[in-house]
Amino acid sequence: MTASTTDKISSTLTAVADTVTAATTDKSGLSSALIHYLERNNNAGQATVRQHAEQHGLQSVVSHWENHAVMEPTTEDVVQKLLPSEVIDRLAAESGLSRSATITNLQEVLPPACRTDKVDTQRKARQA
């Protein structure tokens, strides 16, 4: 069996498993893991997202997420540019989702998570 055939079988099995377990619609565990990543170590994850946004010319996208309550889902490409591959893998492991389902769900979960982070930071600053 070639690697290509093995990859195709693995991809097909992952897609079937994601469908059977409703992985592409279960966002609760992923949301919690993402918020933890963004907020840990004094918002280090959020700083990484901003740094990657700057590197890829996506500052206006992240700024929009931070400053608007209602937003559309983003794209797979944007998710993969803003979050390091090892972070996506860790979020997948923590949420119990496949990498593919994690990226799909992050398209909806990442934008409001950035907003939540900014709102929480502003609230904490006012309370200090």
As a whole number of angstroms, the distance between CA 90 and CA 118 comes to: 23
pLDDT in tens, 54-65: 999 999 999 999
* Per-domain residue ranges of the chain: 27-127
Q: Determine the pLDDT at residue 54.
A: 98
The token pair that represents 115 in the structure block: 């907003």
Q: pTM higher than 0.75, yes or no?
A: no
Res. 105: pLDDT tops 80: yes
Q: Determine the pLDDT at residue 86.
A: 97
Q: What is the mean predicted confidence (pLDDT) over 49-56?
A: 97
What is the residue-averaged pLDDT of the chain? 81
Res. 90: pLDDT tops 90: yes
